[in-house]
Homo-oligomer: A and B are copies of this chain.
Amino acid sequence: PCLSETPEARVLERAVLESRVREMEEENRQIRLQLSQLQGTGVDIRNSVDGIASLFSAQLIHVACVCAGHNASRDVVTLVKSILFHRKNPLHFHFITDAVANQILSSLFQSWMVPSVQVSFYDADELKSEVSWIPNKHYSGIYGLMKLTLTKALPSDLTKVIVLDTDITFATDIAELWAIFRKFTDKQVIGLVENQSDWYLGNLWKNHKPWPALGRGFNTGVILLYLERLRRIGWEQMWRLTAERELMSMLSTSLADQDIFNAFIKQNPVLVHQLPCFWNVQLSDHTRSEQCYTEVSDLKVIHWNSPKKLRVKNKHVEFFRNLYLTFLEYDGNLLRRELFGCPSRAVAIPGSDATPLEELDEDDQCYDFRRERITVHRVHLYFLQYEYTPTGDDTDVTLVAQLSMDRLQMLEAICKHWEGPISLALYMSDAEAQQFLRYAQASEVLKNRKNVGYHIVYKEGQFYPVNLVRNVALRNANTPYVFLADVDFLPMYGLYDYLRKSVVQLDMAHTKKALVVPAFETLRYRLSFPKSKAELLSMLDIGTLYTFRYHVWTKGHAPTNYAKWRTATTPYKVEWEADFEPYVVVKRDCPEYDQRFVGFGWNKVSHIMELDAQEYDLMVLPNAFMIHMPHAPSFDISKFRSSPGYRYCLQTLKEEFHQDLSRKYGAAALKYLTAQRNI
């Protein structure tokens, strides 16, 4: 379909096309005539194409997917985005998951809140015994085999389901695929696309002996499963018998479920409905898929079934990659759009007592701030591989922090200064999350650390919801204690061990304490980081270091009492004062940050105030320190500085926070109001 080279060719081509089109139009007109009899029943059938689409648009489409681990959970999101992008129907996703994928995907969908999308989870562990007896060599491991168990795993009243691998990308409306169930003959129970490699022909190399298959065999990346009929014919028995028989000679499966499906089909060819090749264009290493897609002007489903994934060599790989990247970096918030004709339900915000959107006053000067507070941000927990078990002695401490793209370069340094577990929330767009992924995968320091939990909070709205992001990091710390830090600080070497010892020493388990880690700062990019408190003190004396915000906002850390700290050898208690915002170690079940504070201002101050209201003792650690590294001011600070509106709203929010404190903690909380007024 490109520009014809000569005018003659163009004229001829057009004449041929025109005559064909006229013929086809005539035929279509006939259909439309017949269809017009259907009109008046409320369904609008404009022509055959629209007609079919609108007839199906009321149907709920079921999609099943086996998904285990961190990487597959990331992949499946791109699949889901590509489906949501084109869909016009309500959808029900059925995920067979391990514990990791369950946690990630359930929190993701809960916060994604896509209208007309249901999600169900099924425990893969419970299905393991069904397939664990099958020896398997494929990289998908035991999870690939679980596709065999779907008649059992999915609800018994579910009649039909589309089963997809996680490495699939949709380039069209999934309703078109669902519609193919209608073309099944009465006997057919399973719809598949032919395999696009020579694997099952058994001639790839000497002594290559694949499982039995019909011709080239079928690929199981995209399956239409007619569950109702499969149950009726006794599928569960049948595939087992097939597998057992073949395993006597084959010893193990090479391609997991696909070998068993193929052996089964070879014996029962009438049960299969062959799908057109474009429903599963297989980009495997030695694919023959080109014979399929060069013939069709529109590709419907791409299957990245090479272990090389996006790096597979293929003449058209750039084309496929672009389709894939479209969804990989697509802003998932845009998929929250309503389906037309569906009444939108008021959305309840989990765990929030904020005013619902309808009740907000659009003319309120601080409308934008209030709106921000009730915005639900999509959250993808554990975006990267994570494996960590807290130390068994109940003293473990997680460093908790939040950041956005402009602080990414701090991560390696923090990892070098803190060997313990870290819980990081990253405020990013979908595209930035992919940039971060590439960065982390390329970093020797980061990729060797498995005890860092990276949680993506997707961007939305005009403010930086700093306390919401902090809470995501806090909630997902897995140790009894948390060190509430900021990403632009480097902890002293050995702080992790020292904090764990202090937890014991100060009996944190049975008291209500917040351990203060004194904060310092350097204005120099190239700091030779002090190895000890003594070294730090001498750097303070010569002016290489300062106490944190000494020049601009002394009050934030003055109560730490740096003078006393210089000579202290044991922890000492300090009293709360207005605007105190130290970095503290507390129990993980401490109060959360107040999410009404967005952007710059009062985000940590309000948290420390609430700790004090709950009667935490503030204990300064004599041998702990952390140093702030220099960076350019953030956007939100400049916004704050230049806008009187911003300052006014921050003041309003502060007052409301005070009122809430009094309501929660009674008369004792009045001191915060007084302290505030005295400033």
Contact = CB atoms under 8 A, between A and B. Distances in A.
Interface string A620-637: 000000000111110100
A24 B341 contact: no
B429 A88 contact: no
Contact of A28 (B31, B116, B319, B525): B31
Interface stretch (A13-21, A348-356, A595-603, A609-617): A13-21
A276 B523 CA distance: 65
A125 interface: no
Interface string A330-342: 1100111111111
Contacts of A14: 59
A451 interface: no
Contacts of A53: 297-298
A38 interface: yes
B331 A44 contact: no
B90 A3 contact: yes
A552 B526 contact: yes
B48 A630 contact: no
A439 B634 CA distance: 13
Contacts of A57: 1, 297
Contacts of A573: none
Contact of A331 (B319, B329, B342): B329
A8 interface: no
Contacts of A130: none
Interface string A304-336: 000000000000101100110110011100111
B31 A27 contact: yes
B17 A59 contact: yes
B44 A24 contact: no
Nearest to A551: B526
A89 B552 CA distance: 61
A486 B298 CA distance: 47
Nearest to A522: B523
Contact of A525 (B4, B295, B523): B523
Nearest to A631: B632
A1 B341 contact: yes
A34 B551 CA distance: 85
A43 B1 CA distance: 12
Contacts of A294: 340-341
A20 B48 contact: no
A340 B52 CA distance: 27
B58 A633 contact: no
Contacts of A201: none
A54 interface: yes
A339 B630 contact: no
Interface of A: 1-4, 13-14, 17-18, 20-25, 27-28, 31, 34-35, 38, 43-44, 46, 48-60, 88-90, 116, 118, 179, 182-183, 276, 293-298, 316, 318-319, 322-323, 325-326, 329-331, 334-343, 405-409, 412, 429, 431, 439, 444, 523-526, 551-552, 629-633, 635, 638, 642
The 6 residue pairs across chains A and B that have the minimum distance between CB atoms: A2-B342, A1-B57, A631-B632, A322-B334, A319-B337, A322-B337
22 contacts: A1-B57, A1-B341, A2-B58, A2-B90, A4-B60, A21-B179, A31-B31, A44-B295, A50-B298, A53-B297, A53-B298, A88-B297, A88-B298, A294-B340, A316-B340, A323-B337, A325-B331, A406-B406, A406-B632, A429-B431, A525-B630, A630-B632
